[in-house]
């Protein structure tokens, strides 16, 4: 009987542990706007390592993206987003070198417009 109770206790503890174990964060969605257009950015994996960005804004825009870790001066190279059609753009393999608070800096130039700079803060986890 004691063995059965011990086994049941192990199963209960295992289920509780499984339920409260933290899951890896999913994609992170950020929103901002310029004077002329709204911008939505999805960071596929806001964790240490590389991640892809999906950006939605006005069709025909030119977008430069850069990740910056302002506390210690890390920055990724500024990269032009690739148009995917219909106002959607992508940036592949942005390297997030350390955990902590980051900024995604976007320079958005709408078709026929002037460049506007956006700063979208986010956190990188391990």
List 103's β-bridge partners, or say none. Answer: 68, 121
Confidence (pTM): 0.80
Sheet holding 49-56, edge to edge: 28-33, 38-43, 49-56, 88-96, 82-85
- Sorted by where each starts, the structural domains of the chain and their CATH numbers stand as 25-124 (2.60.40.2480)
Sequential pLDDT tens for the chain (126 residues): 777 766 666 666 665 655 566 656 689 999 999 888 899 999 999 999 999 999 999 999 999 999 999 999 999 999 999 999 999 999 999 999 999 999 999 999 999 999 999 999 999 988
Tally of CB atoms within 10 A around 67: 24
Residue with tokens 């993206």: 65
């Amino acid at each position: 009987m004691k063995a059965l109770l011990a086994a049941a206790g192990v199963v209960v503890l295992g289920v509780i542990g499984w339920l409260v174990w933290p899951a890896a964060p999913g994609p992170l969605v950020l929103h901002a706007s310029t004077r002329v257009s709204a911008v939505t950015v999805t960071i596929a994996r806001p964790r240490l390592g590389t991640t892809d960005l999906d950006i939605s804004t006005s069709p025909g825009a030119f977008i430069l993206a850069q990740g910056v870790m302002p506390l210690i001066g890390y920055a990724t190279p500024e990269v032009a987003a690739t148009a995917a059609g219909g106002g959607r753009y992508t940036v592949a393999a942005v390297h997030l070198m350390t955990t902590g608070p980051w900024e995604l800096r976007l320079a958005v130039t709408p078709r026929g417009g002037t460049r506007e700079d956006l700063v979208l803060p986010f956190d990188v986890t391990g």
